[in-house]
């Protein structure tokens, strides 16, 4: 049988955007942006929409030859997913809570029962019903009242992460008339079972900046604002302490935290600052009984754990050190139980847990894979001697364990089932340390299929990266990646600077004036993998989204010759213009990440790498760009402008396609199957380029 021909060749009828010069002047420097006109905050400009539709039509035409391959991949991805699946019930109060999906349903149904066997389950929410009629739907937070007879849930129907909150009586099954609009999606109940607190968004900046108190049965217009944050560099969130005695307002900028609290039994009281706000002080605080537990960077770059009481919490000098700072260990968090603490730590890039009992005896929980992802799962109740822990690796499907906190013994509750012929023994993972140009060693996670990999420079390679905000992309299992591995690809995650893979300093060396390190690391990893013969130098592909899309944009400007194809998704590409415009959502929150270009020093730093500003007349790889029209994190016009300028200046005949989901936001399509179409599109693009 002959091999299907999915090969792609450039179609010449790509959309050509009009050029309309717009002058931008900062620090006596002049930039001319010919595509500034593409910005439409209302997303109703007919000229803009027409160009996006033209790009979508061209993308479909250009990639038509690979459509059968894309369909095959989509069916592969879908076929690996168990259609009928249940989550493991988790106990919270009097009930056990779990979710189920059935057949071709895109969304879950949420239930509760009075036993772990779920033999008398009660339907709380059918998300399929809620999502009916919407092109996009995301269920936000579900919050039960302390009496467990009232439920609040939030929903986003546009993809802009603006949530409306609704309420349901679990006694009668009826919806309550209360609706809270334009919220962050979090709802916290006071202990009186009738008062809730929520964060309201600024619809222009999309920042949550006000906390309101709502009493059931009243109109939202009557709600009382109980806190307003004046500093627009802070994100705002709501929560409740572990012992449910406090309602907590969490405020976080990139480099500073602040916390305000209210007695949950006195909802009409005033929120008060837990401690003075201090620039550069990052911390996370929780409370159990009479003790506050503070994970803090005070005199501890990689954080340490301190404890305090009501009387000492406001004064750091009176805190007691529970777990000291260590130069080579990052303390990421703590989970509180009545008789134990579970510390989440990271050393040499690898996550681990340390259980500490009341006597201070410490016990590390061990895992076998060379590189893996592990996290504390849902543990609603502190009065237990077991903890739920989630575990996964590049070769191990997601696994949920109950861990005996006294002995460390792990009991497997459930492992993700992968339908088809998957056998974990067919795959091999590695952890490499690759030396970057400045001598720093960069962690790299690698996985491949044993019977198709030869370290002889013949395999295709897919390299992924992110590298921002201190967010670490841990090596975890992805059933969708099997479609590449089974076709001979080597799959790589480059843990470039900008994450916290190697501790806090790893993050600091990949932000602001050091941002170039993220790009150099990614490029140097690619070069090293080619030199070490993990792949064919003509078959290297790269992908990243959001800040990872920025990574892709910078990499293709600086080293385009290394890559055959690149996927660039919801990408942050027009960094300089965006960071100079405080009217764009989230800009002011980002100053401590990228630097404030109103300062000439950071203007020059950003100008040197900003992907949009550094497009030049050179050859570029084949590139697939995707975005969502309603993206609230990275506005649609950034990739739109970038593609237009790329078409104007690039000197090659490689493929450049741009696809906009006209219904989605930053997270892409909603639903468990619909979202697979985007993955199938990129994989088909890369595989077709090998023909």
Residue positions annotated with a catalytic role: 546, 631, 666
Hey, which residues does 29 pair with through a beta bridge?
A: 26
d(CA 25, CA 665): 31
3-state secondary structure of 525: helix
Hey, which residues does 142 pair with through a beta bridge?
A: 153
d(CA 458, CA 448): 13
Hey, which residues does 208 pair with through a beta bridge?
A: 201
Question: Which residue, among 73, 123, 61, 75, has the nearest Cα to 95 in the 3D structure?
Answer: 123
d(CA 578, CA 556): 20
d(CA 617, CA 649): 5
Report the 10 Å Cβ neighbour count for 329.
Answer: 20
d(CA 665, CA 245): 36
C-alpha distances out from residue 472 to 168, 226, 379, 494, Å? 37, 35, 23, 11
Question: Which residue, among 563, 542, 473, has the nearest Cα to 510 in the 3D structure?
Answer: 473
Q: Sort strands 622-628 and 656-661 into parallel, antiparallel or unpaired.
A: parallel
How far separated are the first and last CA of the chain, in Å rounded? 16
Rg (C-alpha) for the chain, rounded Å, is: 26
Q: Sort strands 329-336 and 340-347 into parallel, antiparallel or unpaired.
A: antiparallel
Cβ(270)–Cβ(262) below 8 Å: yes
Backbone angles phi, psi at 414, to 5 degrees: -165, 140
Residue with tokens 């189920």: 100
Contacts 24+ apart (CB under 8 A), 268-275: 268/195, 268/213, 270/226, 271/211, 271/226, 271/227, 271/247, 274/313, 274/314, 275/313, 275/314, 275/315, 275/316
d(CA 644, CA 615): 11
Sequence-ordered list of residues with C-beta below 8 angstroms from that of 132, at least 6 positions apart, any chain: none
């Amino acid at each position: 049988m002959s091999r299907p021909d999915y090969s792609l060749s450039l179609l010449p009828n790509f959309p050509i955007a009009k050029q309309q010069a717009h002058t931008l002047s900062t620090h006596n420097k002049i930039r001319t942006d010919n595509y500034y006109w593409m910005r439409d905050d209302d997303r109703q400009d007919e000229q803009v929409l027409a160009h996006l539709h033209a790009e979508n039509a061209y993308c479909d035409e250009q990639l038509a030859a690979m459509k059968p391959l894309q369909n095959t991949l989509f069916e592969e991805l879908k076929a690996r997913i168990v259609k009928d699946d249940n989550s493991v019930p988790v106990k919270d109060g009097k009930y056990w809570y779990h979710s189920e999906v059935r057949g071709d349903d895109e969304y879950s149904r949420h239930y509760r029962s009075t036993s772990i066997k779920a033999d008398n389950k009660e339907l709380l929410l059918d998300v399929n019903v809620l999502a009916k009629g919407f092109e996009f739907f995301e269920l936000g937070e579900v919050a039960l009242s302390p009496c467990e007879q009232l439920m609040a849930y939030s929903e986003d129907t546009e993809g802009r992460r603006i949530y409306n909150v609704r309420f349901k009586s679990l006694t009668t099954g009826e919806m309550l008339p209360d609706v809270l609009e334009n919220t962050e999606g979090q709802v916290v109940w006071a202990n009186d079972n009738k008062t809730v607190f929520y964060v309201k968004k600024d619809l222009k900046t999309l920042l949550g900046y006000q906390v309101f108190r709502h009493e059931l049965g009243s109109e939202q217009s009557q709600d009382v604002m109980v806190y307003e944050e004046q500093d627009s560099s802070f994100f705002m969130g709501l929560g409740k302490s572990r012992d449910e005695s406090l309602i907590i307002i969490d405020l976080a900028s990139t480099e500073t935290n602040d916390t305000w609290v209210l007695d949950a039994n006195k909802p009409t009281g005033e929120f008060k600052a837990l401690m003075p706000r201090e620039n550069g002080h990052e911390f996370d605080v929780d409370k159990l009984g009479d003790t506050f537990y503070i994970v803090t960077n005070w005199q501890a770059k990689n954080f340490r754990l301190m404890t305090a009481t009501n009387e000492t919490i406001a004064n750091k000098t009176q805190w007691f050190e529970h777990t000291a700072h260590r130069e080579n260990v990052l303390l990421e968090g703590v989970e509180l139980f009545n008789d134990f603490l579970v510390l989440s730590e990271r050393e040499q890039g690898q996550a681990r847990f340390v259980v500490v009992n009341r006597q201070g005896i410490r016990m590390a929980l061990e895992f076998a894979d060379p590189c893996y992802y592990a996290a504390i799962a849902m543990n609603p109740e502190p009065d237990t001697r077991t903890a739920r822990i989630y575990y996964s690796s590049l070769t191990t499907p997601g696994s949920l364990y109950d861990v005996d906190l006294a002995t460390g013994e792990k009991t497997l509750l459930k492992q993700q089932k992968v339908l088809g012929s998957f056998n974990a023994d067919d795959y091999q993972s590695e952890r490499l340390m690759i030396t970057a140009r400045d001598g720093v060693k960069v962690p790299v996670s690698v996985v491949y299929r044993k019977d198709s990999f030869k370290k002889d420079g013949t395999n295709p390679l897919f390299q992924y990266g992110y590298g921002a905000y201190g967010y670490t992309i841990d090596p975890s299992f992805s059933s969708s990646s099997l479609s590449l591995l089974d076709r001979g690809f080597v799959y790589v995650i480059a843990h470039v600077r900008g994450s916290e893979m190697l501790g806090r300093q790893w993050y600091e060396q990949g932000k602001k004036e050091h941002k170039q390190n993220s790009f150099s690391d990614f490029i140097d990893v690619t070069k090293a993998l080619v030199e070490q013969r993990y792949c064919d130098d003509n078959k290297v592909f790269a992908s990243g989204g959001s800040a990872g899309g920025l990574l892709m944009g910078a990499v293709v400007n600086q080293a385009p010759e290394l890559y055959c194809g690149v996927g660039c998704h919801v990408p942050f590409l027009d960094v300089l213009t965006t960071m100079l415009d405080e009217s764009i959502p989230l800009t002011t929150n980002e100053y401590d990440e990228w630097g404030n270009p109103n300062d000439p020093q950071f203007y020059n730093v950003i100008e040197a790498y900003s992907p949009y500003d550094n497009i030049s007349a050179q050859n570029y790889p084949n590139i697939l760009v995707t975005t969502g029209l309603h993206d609230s994190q990275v506005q649609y016009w950034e990739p739109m402008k970038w593609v237009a300028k790329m078409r104007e200046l690039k000197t090659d005949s490689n493929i450049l396609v741009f696809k906009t989901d006209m219904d989605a936001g930053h997270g892409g399509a909603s639903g468990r199957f619909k979202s697979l179409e985007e993955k199938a599109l990129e994989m088909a693009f890369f595989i077709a380029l090998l023909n």
